[in-house]
Structure 1
Amino acid sequence: MSTGPSLIRILAVDDHPMLLEGIASLVASQSDMELVAEASTGREALEQFREHRPDLTLMDLQMPDMDGVEAMVAICGEFPDARIIVLTTYKGDVKVLRALKAGARAFLLKGLLRKELLETIRAVQAGQKRIPPEVAAELADHAIDDALTTREIDVLRLIAGGNTNKLIADQLSITEETVKGYVKNILSKLGASDRTHAVTIALKRGFIDL
């Protein structure tokens, strides 16, 4: 099929077939867009991008094999002009920041796909950036927070797995006292009242996944 110069060529990346079908249906109804490829993992996304060089990519964040942020880093590393719209169910500020740093031009909450997808595609193709108000508010709320260190995130993951301080110390080859210090820092930085509360906040903000 020949593509006219005005068509926006799109790559859609998501591991849910129903969502890809919905995107395909919306795009097919537009005279200025064409879905040129689909992928269900980050690794496939990179391969499809290399093959098709789309004008615009719709990228899910949470996928098996290679997640959306890793795929974006890989794609933008090879193709700095790539235009990527992140599709997410998720408003956590940490994931959003990672995606922005990786090269995202816009964010689209999956619940608003039918209502806002086509307008967002055209806006990004025209060079604009789009962040939904809910996502922008989440970013603003935590803009001056102290970031967790890599080791603190390691400790949090192990806390989320139900490990005691002793088990965490054993797994990370550090002392129990050091673990206690990390836990104290984590509670302080997240404004959490206890370990369970810290895990809840960390999941909501995107520091860790279960």
Structure 2
Amino acid sequence: MQVVIADDHPLFRTALSHAVGKVWPEAEIVEAPSAARAREALANGAVEALLLDLHMEDSNGLSVLMDLRQDYPALPISIVSASEEPRVIAAAQQLGAAAFIPKSSGLDVMRDALSAVREGDGWFPDTGAEEDADLAHMASLTPAQRRILSSMREGLLNKQIAYELDISEATVKAHITAIFRKLGVNNRTQAVLLAGKLDVDQPAADALTQ
């Protein structure tokens, strides 16, 4: 049985390993410095839990959480992040995280949060933030639709998206129509602006350690 720690800061992975070792003493701890490496671990082992940072070399924001929840719906995913704004914490909870552990927390708090997750409970700081209907709409997108929406955010045209994803331009248009319907928008600009809610600003202190 494994617990995967996905964080691109080696020192923080070490600190998390100590907390995990107290809660899952029998587990093999797998450290992953990127979202891609975390996915490799999830595909190759019997993973009990995933601890996930929101800012890594190949991921930034809540999109990675949404994708992993889609692919591994039964896996408890605990967000461990320096982005501690109430909006971010509430969004992570709404998108299916099992816990949100601020990086400013002490080891005792981390152990308490992970113990709750192991028992099947959630653990989140009290923010008072309300659920966002737009996030629920985005969570309803299929993986293919999310990839196309991501390409739209990069400014790619339908023909370019079709080439990048190796699908027909007609298929791209059909997906975009479905995206607009699910998100309740009328055009690409509105869809791109709404998808911006998945972005999470990287704290300055965290950025300095990159």
Q: Output the TM-score relative to the length of structure 2.
A: 0.57
Aligned length: 145
Q: Is the 8 A contact 1:42 1:67 kept in 2?
A: no
Identity of aligned residues (%): 20
Change (3 A) 1:31 1:40: closer
Change (3 A) 1:78 1:144: closer
Q: Is the 8 A contact 1:61 1:68 kept in 2?
A: yes
Q: Which residue of 1 aligns with 2:201?
A: 209
- Which of 55, 58, 76 is the equivalent residue of 1:62? 55
Q: Which residue of 2 aligns with 1:82?
A: 75
Structure (1 or 2) with the larger CA radius of gyration: 1
Q: Which residue of 1 aligns with 2:40?
A: 47
How far 1:68 sits from its partner (Å)?
5.7
How far 1:92 sits from its partner (Å)?
2.1
Q: For residues 1-46 of structure 1, what are the alpha-carbon distances to aligned partners after superposition, in whole Å with 9 as ceiling and x for unaligned?
A: xx6xxxxx31111110000111223333556442431111112211
Q: Is the 8 A contact 1:59 1:68 kept in 2?
A: no
Change (3 A) 1:44 1:144: closer
**How many angstroms apart in 1 are the aligned matches of 2:20 and 2:54?**
21
**How many angstroms apart in 1 are the aligned matches of 2:72 and 2:200?**
29
**How many angstroms apart in 2 are the aligned matches of 1:80 and 1:25?**
26
Q: Which residue of 2 aligns with 1:11?
A: 4
Q: For residues 98-144 of structure 1, what are the alpha-carbon distances to aligned partners after superposition, in whole Å with 9 as ceiling and x for unaligned?
A: 423432011111111412122211211211111113xx23x25xx68
Aligned-pair Cα RMSD in Å: 3.3
Q: Which residue of 2 aligns with 1:124?
A: 117
Structure 1's unaligned 5+ residue stretches are: 4-8, 155-204
Q: Is the 8 A contact 1:10 1:36 kept in 2?
A: yes
Q: For residues 148-178 of structure 1, what are the alpha-carbon distances to aligned partners after superposition, in whole Å with 9 as ceiling and x for unaligned?
A: xx9xxx8xxxxxxxxxxxxxxxxxxxxxxxx
Q: 1:26 aligns to what SS in structure 2? A: helix
Q: Is the 8 A contact 1:59 1:86 kept in 2?
A: yes
Written as runs of structure 1 = structure 2, the 5 A alignment for 1:116-195 is 116-133=109-126, 136-137=127-128, 139-140=129-130
Change (3 A) 1:121 1:64: same
**How many angstroms apart in 1 are the aligned matches of 2:114 and 2:75?**
13
Q: Is the 8 A contact 1:10 1:35 kept in 2?
A: yes
Q: Is the 8 A contact 1:94 1:207 kept in 2?
A: no
**How many angstroms apart in 2 are the aligned matches of 1:97 and 1:68?**
13
**How many angstroms apart in 2 are the aligned matches of 1:125 and 1:58?**
12
